[in-house]
């Protein structure tokens, strides 16, 4: 048995020992499946060394930091933050009253897709959890501030969202870790016909933190799902959004930006599946890659025979800022239907000398010009964020 396999097994055993009260089914599942190996196709570019560097015996829920000092005062917004145990959520000082249909108790329901590593690890924890059911045509703005006050935190928020017909939910989440921590956010959403879910995430972590994020979204015809996410910092950050249009005729929009520096590994593995006709997808992934960082993108779009007249567009763009930075990008279209319009593309480039020359000819020095170009590259994603999150991105 190789040293790498032994190290993975030892880490899993250490994590289980640190959480002896975890559900037996979750413990057994993690023991049987373990951590993914490099030979697995979806993990062959992703180095798990930052995860194995965490001490599983020290990973515990930590009390939440004080509320967001920059929060707006809109009285219509429900704001929640980590409680003093780090395993629950509580209203922030400026929060609107909690609506009917919102529960903050831990949920015992099993995760739907234990094939994802984030789901297997998440099964050992008990919160914080949020269950929200919006009645038909209801509207809600919800902001979550998830920041453990200390290092060595285990943060595993789970959101279960059920939107009735014509309901609208705007969700903004700021998740930040502060050293040698493991974050395992998980979202499950069911969108009824005509429902609309708009998600915005800002993931910030230190150079020793690990993020493993997953989501499972089911869309009924006529629904709209929009997800925007910005990742900054972290030693390892892997996101795995999974979206299914159950009968087609829905709209999905995905926007992702990774700001990757030092030796960080940022990995986005997305899957969108159309199980009916006339669905649409608009996906854009961008990454700034500096230092010795590594950015990975693998986006799968699945269009089976019954998904006629699907219209899907997928684009991955990387901007390399260092000769030692690395990119692996793999947009995928799996098309069986014959009446579709599907496009995908990937670009990897560096700062344009022509654009820098143009700015210098206007009196802008090279460093300032380079910063302007970097900001311009990010702006397309950043403008999708609500003010609560946009102001946190330096």
Question: 285 with 361, same domain?
Answer: no
Evaluate whether residue 56 is within a structural domain.
Answer: no
The pairing of beta strand 158-163 with beta strand 326-335: unpaired
Evaluate whether residue 14 is within a structural domain.
Answer: no
Of 47, 40, 80, whose CA–CA distance to 64 is shortest?
A: 80
φ/ψ of residue 364, rounded to 5: -100, 125
Please tell me the total count of domains within the chain.
2
Of 346, 349, 312, whose CA–CA distance to 329 is shortest?
A: 346
Judge contact between 65 and 177, C-beta under 8 A: no
Question: 266 with 373, same domain?
Answer: no
pLDDT tens track of the chain, all 394 residues? 455 555 778 888 888 888 888 778 788 888 888 888 878 888 888 889 999 999 999 998 888 887 655 555 567 889 999 988 888 888 988 888 888 888 887 665 556 556 788 888 887 776 788 889 999 999 999 999 999 998 999 999 999 999 999 999 999 999 999 999 999 999 999 999 999 999 999 999 999 999 999 999 999 999 999 999 999 999 999 999 999 999 989 999 999 999 988 889 999 999 999 999 999 999 999 998 888 999 999 999 999 999 999 999 999 999 888 889 999 998 889 999 989 998 988 888 877 666 666 566 766 766 766 777 778 888 888 888 887 777 777 5
- Integer Cα distance of 156 and 67 in angstroms: 18
Strand, helix or coil for residue 221: coil
Question: 153 with 268, same domain?
Answer: yes
Task: Calculate ∠ Cα 309-313-317, nearest 5°.
Answer: 170
Per the DSSP assignment, residues forming a β-bridge with 373 are: none
Q: What are the residues whose beta carbons fall under 8 Å from the beta carbon of 359, sequence distance 6 or more?
A: 368, 369, 372, 373
Question: 357 with 338, same domain?
Answer: no
Of 270, 173, 296, 167, whose CA–CA distance to 223 is shortest?
A: 167
Evaluate whether residue 17 is within a structural domain.
Answer: no
Evaluate whether residue 126 is within a structural domain.
Answer: yes
Evaluate whether residue 229 is within a structural domain.
Answer: yes
Evaluate whether residue 94 is within a structural domain.
Answer: yes
| Backbone CA torsion sign across 105, 108, 112, 113 | positive
Question: 231 with 324, same domain?
Answer: yes
Helices of type H across 34-177: 49-53, 117-122
Task: Calculate ∠ Cα 188-191-192, nearest 5°.
Answer: 145
Residues of the domain holding 115 = 61-351
Question: 205 with 89, same domain?
Answer: yes
- Integer Cα distance of 122 and 120 in angstroms: 5
Evaluate whether residue 241 is within a structural domain.
Answer: yes
122-143: burial string, b at 16+ Cβ within 10 Å, e else: bbbbbbbbbbbbbeeebebbbb
Evaluate whether residue 322 is within a structural domain.
Answer: yes
Per the DSSP assignment, residues forming a β-bridge with 391 are: none
- Integer Cα distance of 142 and 96 in angstroms: 9
């Amino acid at each position: 048995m190789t040293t790498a396999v032994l190290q993975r097994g030892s880490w899993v055993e250490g994590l289980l020992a640190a959480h002896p009260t975890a559900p037996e089914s979750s413990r057994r599942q993690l023991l049987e499946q373990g951590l993914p190996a490099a030979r697995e196709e979806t993990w062959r570019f992703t180095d798990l060394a930052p995860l194995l560097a965490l001490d599983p015996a020290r990973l515990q829920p930590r009390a939440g930091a004080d509320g967001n000092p920059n929060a707006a005062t809109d009285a219509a917004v429900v704001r929640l933050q980590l409680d003093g145990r780090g395993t629950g959520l509580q209203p922030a000082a400026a929060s609107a009253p909690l609506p009917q249909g919102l529960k903050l108790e831990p949920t015992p329901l099993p995760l739907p897709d234990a094939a994802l590593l984030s789901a297997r690890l998440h099964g050992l924890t008990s919160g914080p959890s949020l269950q929200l059911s919006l009645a038909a045509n209801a509207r809600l703005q919800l902001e979550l501030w998830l920041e453990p006050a200390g290092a060595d935190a285990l943060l595993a928020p789970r959101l279960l969202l059920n939107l009735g017909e014509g309901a609208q939910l705007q969700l903004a989440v700021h998740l930040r870790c502060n050293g040698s921590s493991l974050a395992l956010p998980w979202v499950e959403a069911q969108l009824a016909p005509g429902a609309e879910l708009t998600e915005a995430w800002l993931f910030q972590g230190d150079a020793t933190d690990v993020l493993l994020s997953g989501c499972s979204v089911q869309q009924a015809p006529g629904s709209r799902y929009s997800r925007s996410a910005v990742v900054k910092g972290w030693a390892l950050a892997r996101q795995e959004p999974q979206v299914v249009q159950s009968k087609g005729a829905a709209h999905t929009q995905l926007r992702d930006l990774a700001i990757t520096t030092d030796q960080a590994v940022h990995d986005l593995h997305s899957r969108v599946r159309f199980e009916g006709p006339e669905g649409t997808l608009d996906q854009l992934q961008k990454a700034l890659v500096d230092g010795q960082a590594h950015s990975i993108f693998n986006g799968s779009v699945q269009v089976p025979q019954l998904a006629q007249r699907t219209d899907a567009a997928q684009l991955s763009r990387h901007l390399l800022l260092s000769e030692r930075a690395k990119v692996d990008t793999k947009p995928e279209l799996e098309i069986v239907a014959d009446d579709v319009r599907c496009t995908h593309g990937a670009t990897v480039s560096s700062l344009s000398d022509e654009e820098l020359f143009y700015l210098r000819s206007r009196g802008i020095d090279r460093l300032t010009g380079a910063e302007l170009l970097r900001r311009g590259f990010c702006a397309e994603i950043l403008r999708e964020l609500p003010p609560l999150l946009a102001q946190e991105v330096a």
